[in-house]
Chains A and B, each alone.
Chain A
Amino acid sequence: MVALQLGGAPAATLGEVKNRADLIIFWGSNPAESHPRHFTRYSGTAKGRMNPNGRKDRHVVVVDIRKTPSVKYSDEFIQIKPGNDYEVFTVMRMIANGHIPDTDMVGGIPLQTLIDLVERCKKARMGVLFFGQGITETKGKHQNSTAIYQFGKDMTKHSKFLTLPMRGHYNVVGSGNVMCWQTGYPFAVNFGKGYPRFNPGEFSVVDLLLRREPDVAVIVAAEPIDHLPYAAAKHLENIPTIVLDPRKTLTTKIAKVIIPVKHAGVSVEGTAYRMDHIPIKMQAVLESPWPKDDIPLSTIINRIKKIRSEEKKTDGGKAA
């Protein structure tokens, strides 16, 4: 997200990827296990307007630190040394701009392989680089993604080229979109002064928890005990944590208050944003006795307003 703000990026829907792209690169992403049908629906075997033969019309490259299950569906596998993504993208940008560095290997990859890859990107009818957590969760973090977006920008001088993140949770894109629409910022927002302030590193969850600043936590449809670094997650055990979740998780185990809710997309309808920012209406197939999560949240909001107005009245009485 920070990378997107620093670099900017051209966007397209997965439908365009399916219909137009003839070069697909998965970098630090293993769709065979993380997004199993991405390949068949959009990026691999799917037949499209300009790809009538499906898989035969596309060249698929996988770049990863190990031979992942996705490699067997690719035409080319490039193995990179862990933590060298930024360096490799910097060199790829050099090559793209006509500077060949005086070295044989970059990040465990032969220089010629990178020269060939850049050439392929330049000549593509439409190239798409999908990057995953292998980029965002390694040394360099958002700087890696920034380097990718900048490489994508360089490539647009030669061909149609997209750099798209392989988002994980089904509506993580929606959470960013809703927060942007409502507060102006995509994440790490603080309302402490009565208006939204954005500062990743200060108001982002891991940093807040590591500094042990929050005194109450509300966890909505997430699993921080499982997903956050241990030292950060540990603070949630020491403060009252309120969890809204349809299922028992490691986070509900440490919760002070558990509020059961319907499972969006399973037991209640709702809207979610696909990884290419397309809103999709989800259906319900099962019945659940609990309300949808915005209902208890509304009740909490109304109750807090009431508690505050009552407190104001009593305070006013004392003052008089």
Chain B
Amino acid sequence: MVQAKVVDENTQVFENVVCPFCATLCDDITVQVKDNKVSKVNGCNLCKGVFLHAHEDWTKPMIDGKEVTYDLAVEEAAQLLARANNPLIYGLAATDVDAQKKCVELADLIGANLDNASSV
């Protein structure tokens, strides 16, 4: 986490935050966080959408629509991929470069097709 200005006990202000929405990657956003929720952000409407709703609709580890432990979800994924004949790994456009590199490593290991959003 970057150094934040502490306003009061529960409120912090982060300056020069980068907005992860579009590829303009504005790096001058000020984000106010209260109780681990974004309470104020000064970006465009798309940026506001990212930060103000960041805590909504979070996913949980699931298999077939049923909530499971994190380890079980990861194990199920590994089992499926270990037995796959022609797997596909797709996406990568909305995460950071470390995750993208891991996707390449996984694709190499399992002989997968690897594609990103450039192809659509």
**Is A216 a contact of B87 with CB atoms below 8 Å?**
yes
Q: Is the CB of B99 within 8 A of A172?
A: no
Residue contact B114 to A283, C-beta cutoff 8 Å: no
Chain A residues, CB < 8 A from B4 = 285
Distance to closest chain B CB from A52 (angstroms): 21
B contact residues around A301 at 8 Å (CB): 102, 105-106, 109
Q: How many A-B residue pairs lie within 8 Å, measured between CB atoms?
A: 343
Q: Are B118 and A186 in contact (CB under 8 A)?
A: yes
**B24 touching A35, Cβ below 8 Å:** yes
Closest to A253 in B: B65
The minimal Cβ–Cβ distance linking A243 to chain B, given in whole angstroms, is 8
B contact residues, total (Cβ < 8 Å): 85
Please tell me if the beta carbons of A191 and B38 are within 8 angstroms of each other in the complex.
no
Q: B55 contacts A286, CB within 8 Å?
A: yes
Asked, given contacts A191-B111, A218-B89, A286-B36, whether A36 binds B120 with beta carbons under 8 Å apart, the answer is no
Contact between chains at A227 and B120 (CB < 8 Å): yes
Query: Closest chain B residue to A297 by CB distance?
Result: B102
- Is A299 located at the chain interface by the 8 A CB criterion? yes
> With A171-B95, A182-B104, A270-B96 given, is the CB distance from A216 to B18 under 8 Å?
no
Interface residues of B in 68-105 (CB under 8 A from A): 70, 73-82, 84-105
Question: Closest CB-CB distance, B105 to chain A, in whole Å?
Answer: 6
A73 at the interface (CB under 8 A from B): no
Contact A299 B90 (CB under 8 A): no
Contact with B along A4-15 (1 / 0, CB 8 A): 000000000010
Given A175-B118, A179-B116, A220-B99, A258:B106 Cβ within 8 A: no
Question: In angstroms, how far is the closest chain A Cβ from the Cβ of B55?
Answer: 7
Contact with A along B1-40 (1 / 0, CB 8 A): 1101000000000100111111111110001010011100
What 9 A-B pairs have minimum CB-CB distances, sorted nearest first?
A270-B96, A222-B91, A265-B20, A169-B93, A214-B88, A303-B78, A36-B44, A275-B23, A175-B116
Cross-chain pairs A/B with CB under 8 angstroms, 18 sampled: A37-B24, A174-B92, A175-B116, A176-B116, A188-B115, A216-B84, A219-B90, A221-B91, A228-B120, A242-B77, A256-B76, A271-B97, A283-B1, A284-B2, A285-B17, A286-B36, A294-B99, A303-B74
